[in-house]
Amino acid sequence: MIGNSVIELNSVDIFQQKHLVLSGVNLQVSRGEFVYLIGQTGSGKSSLLKVMYGELHIANGEGHAVGFPLKTLKENEVPFLRRKLGIVFQDFQLLTDRTIEENLRFVLKATGWKDKNLIDERIKDVLDKVGLRSKIKKMPHEISGGEQQRIVIARALLNDPELILADEPTGNLDPETSEEIIILLRQISQSGTAVIMATHDYHIIRTFPSRIIKCENGKVLDNITV
């Protein structure tokens, strides 16, 4: 980590294949910040997030995410970067054939946890953080959409990340449940984990104001008001 930054991008160009999606990106996000990422469909929000979790390489410029240098990041280092990130995306859903507990245990084991007692404790800890300890033995289809999204957030917290990247985490939820998810993500940021959240939901942004960055015309604009 550079000082207090969890994300540091300096003059970064981001390509998808040969297509320059974003150019000259300068962005700094500090520990514990809560940041909205907005922009029209196709403006580059997902590409920007992909750079942050090591899915897309940066062509020009310099970048760091949770202390990892993005320009020189090697394929075999990506899992270590991801362990310090929590990812809450619509296409990273729960495994439907196992309980909430088994979903969480699966991730811990896959990221190197071995001690059964520590694993059990960690699972209870993250479920407490999202207020759903009582659902530990349920299957995903036995809980509501909002509860499933809270479990996805619990899963993202398992390895105590420095940064959560959330792509439209309220996309499929009703307004009231969406607000609950945002309140939870904001609590998480206040406890020190930065959150960057892509959204199209202006109601949420107005109800819970915070720093906004916007992808527009191939650039990233900072401190936008809507």
Q: Which residues contact ligand ATP by CB under 6 A?
A: 16-17, 19, 21, 39, 41-47, 215
Cβ proximity to ligand ATP, 13 vs 120, nearer residue: 13
Following DSSP, what letter does each residue of 179-216 receive, concatenated?
A: HHHHHHHHHHHHTT-EEEEE---HHHHHHS--EEEEEE
| Smallest gap from residue 47 Cβ to ligand ATP (A) | 3
| Smallest gap from residue 19 Cβ to ligand ATP (A) | 6
Question: Reduced to 3 states, what is the DSSP secondary structure of residue 38?
Answer: strand
Cβ proximity to ligand ATP, 51 vs 130, nearer residue: 51
| Smallest gap from residue 44 Cβ to ligand ATP (A) | 4
Cβ proximity to ligand ATP, 36 vs 158, nearer residue: 36
The dihedral of CA 123, 125, 131, 134: what is its sign?
Answer: positive
Spatial separation of the C-alpha atoms in residues 142 and 106, rounded to whole Å:
19
Cβ proximity to ligand ATP, 21 vs 181, nearer residue: 21
Residues sharing a CB contact under 8 Å with residue 85, sequence separation 6 or more, in sequence order: 52, 53, 65, 66, 161, 162, 163, 164, 165
Residue at token pair 């916007």: 214
Cβ proximity to ligand ATP, 44 vs 140, nearer residue: 44
| Smallest gap from residue 24 Cβ to ligand ATP (A) | 16
Residue at token pair 């196992």: 98
Cβ proximity to ligand ATP, 29 vs 158, nearer residue: 29
Crossing angle of helices 145-157 and 175-190, rounded to 10°: 20
| Smallest gap from residue 124 Cβ to ligand ATP (A) | 35
| Smallest gap from residue 172 Cβ to ligand ATP (A) | 14
23 and 184 Cβ atoms separated by less than 8 Å: no
